[in-house]
């Protein structure tokens, strides 16, 4: 993708899950991974604020390079007991996260930022869903980690990959839990005639 080609829509994410979800909307897009340092719980304690600010950071970085394009940035985190769970640093932290989430209901927050600098479009949306985990013992955690790589996933899990192993139920948008709420994204695209 060259700077002067200016695709209509750019996804500011390296996430294969977001790419897959966006493809489900049937819209043509390019990918440009934002080279930013994301904010974490030490800097922003409110998960809603954190996901919106991180989504905006990503979208703004890409939009500076593609000012004529619509740019979509997103960020997802897991929240329980006033604790933000982003991507685990290592496998032991991933195990600790699943122990913490076991037999409890947590919230998944995703922030979306939609930007077109030339048209002066700056829109943000935050979506939340609830996920309840089964009771997890050490054997179940080990089995689940044999199915997925938890290190690139907020909360150390992915509901769409072996989720039936650990998830008892969920409420709200499934695509939000995966990483990109499609209903809200489609609404934004429709308003700005991207679809």
> What per-residue confidence (pLDDT) applies to 4?
53
Mean pLDDT of 150-173: 96
> What per-residue confidence (pLDDT) applies to 7?
85
Q: Each residue of 95-134: pLDDT tens digit?
A: 999 999 999 999 999 999 999 999 999 999 999 999 999 9
- % the chain with pLDDT above 90: 93
* Helix (H/G/I), strand (E/B), else coil: 98: helix
Q: Pick the closest to residue 188 from 118, 115, 109, 117 (CA basis).
A: 115
CB atoms within 10 A of CB 107: 17
User: Is a pLDDT exceeding 60 seen at residue 192?
Assistant: yes
Q: Each residue of 26-73: pLDDT tens digit?
A: 999 999 999 999 999 889 989 999 999 999 999 999 999 999 999 999
Q: Each residue of 62-88: pLDDT tens digit?
A: 999 999 999 999 999 999 999 999 999
User: Is a pLDDT exceeding 90 seen at residue 165?
Assistant: yes
Rounded Cα distance, 63 and 169, in Å: 37
> What per-residue confidence (pLDDT) applies to 195?
82
Residue 93: C-alpha distances to residues 15, 67, 96, 178 (Å): 21, 39, 5, 20
Radius of gyration of the chain (CA): 17
Residue 63, CB half-sphere, CA atoms under 13 Å: how many? Answer: 21
Question: Per-residue b/e over 35-54, b at no fewer than 16 CB within 10 Å?
Answer: ebebbebeebeebbebbbbb
Domains and CATH numbers, the chain: 9-191 (3.90.950.10)
Q: Each residue of 1-27: pLDDT tens digit?
A: 444 567 899 999 989 999 999 999 999
152 is catalytic: no
> What per-residue confidence (pLDDT) applies to 1?
45
Mean pLDDT of 138-145: 96
> What per-residue confidence (pLDDT) applies to 178?
96
> What per-residue confidence (pLDDT) applies to 5?
60
| Ramachandran quadrant class, 84 (left: phi over 0; alpha: psi -120 to 50; beta: rest) | beta
Q: Mean pLDDT in the chain? A: 95
Catalytically annotated residue among 40, 49, 60, 75: 75
User: Is a pLDDT exceeding 50 seen at residue 154?
Assistant: yes
């Amino acid at each position: 993708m060259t700077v002067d080609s200016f695709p209509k829509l750019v996804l500011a994410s390296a996430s294969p899950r977001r790419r897959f979800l966006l493809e489900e909307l049937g819209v043509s897009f390019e990918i440009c991974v934002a080279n930013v340092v994301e904010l974490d719980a030490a800097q922003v304690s409110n998960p809603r604020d954190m996901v919106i600010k991180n989504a905006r950071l990503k979208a703004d970085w890409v939009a500076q390079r593609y000012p004529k394009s619509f740019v979509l940035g997103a960020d997802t985190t897991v929240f329980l007991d006033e604790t933000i769970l982003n991507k685990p640093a290592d496998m032991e932290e991933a195990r600790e996260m699943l122990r913490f989430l076991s037999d409890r209901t947590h919230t998944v927050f995703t922030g979306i930022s939609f930007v077109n600098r030339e048209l002066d479009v700056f829109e943000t949306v935050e979506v939340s869903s609830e996920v309840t985990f089964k009771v997890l013992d050490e054997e179940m955690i080990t089995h689940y980690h044999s199915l997925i790589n938890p290190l690139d996933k907020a909360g150390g899990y992915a509901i769409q990959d072996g989720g039936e192993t650990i998830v008892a139920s969920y409420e709200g948008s499934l695509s939000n839990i995966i990483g990109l709420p499609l209903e809200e994204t489609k609404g934004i695209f429709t308003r700005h005639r991207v679809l």
